[in-house]
Amino acid sequence: DTAVSQTPKYLVTQMGNDKSIKCEQNLGHDTMYWYKQDSKKFLKIMFSYNNKELIINETVPNRFSPKSPDKAHLNLHINSLELGDSAVYFCASSQERGPPNNSPLHFGNGTRLTVT
């Protein structure tokens, strides 16, 4: 009955590879996000989708491509991985339109990506 689940939990790969992280939420939320938390623990938003529509796309290399097949899923594909991509990637969801207002973010438990 996990609310926001992402897989895999750990991902170790070599530079230049392509990898994907999957995320699913069963909360019925209309908005999903990808956040990156680097080694300094700073949590930064990468993308946000509302009902499958991209609404936030921060300054992220275009090697990162989100895909939302439906409003309960938001996957992240990363091409040509680099050392600097090593971080923890968190998926999250919230309800942004209609009640309840001020819906908090619900995070998945993170994917720890290590690029060697």
- Interaction site with other proteins (CB under 8 A): 31, 35, 40-45, 48, 50, 55-56, 90, 94, 96, 102, 104-105, 107-110
CB 25 within 8 A of CB 45: no
Taking the complex as a whole, how short is the minimal distance between the CB of residue 16 and other proteins, in angstroms?
27
Give the residue with the Cβ less far from other proteins, 1 or 40.
Answer: 40
Residue number, 15 or 105, with CB nearest to other proteins: 105
Measured from the CB of residue 77, what is the shortest distance to other proteins in angstroms?
A: 21
Amino acid at 9: K
Amino acid at 101: N
Q: Specify the residue, 14 or 40, whose C-beta has the smaller distance to other proteins.
A: 40
Using a 10 angstrom Cβ sphere, with 0-12 exposed, 13-18 middle and 19 or more buried, the burial of residue 21 is buried
Measured from the CB of residue 22, what is the shortest distance to other proteins in angstroms?
16
Would you say 3 or 15 has its CB closer to other proteins? 3
- How far is Cα 58 from Cα 35, in angstroms, rounded to an integer? 10
Distances (CA, A) of 4 to 9, 29, 44: 13, 10, 18
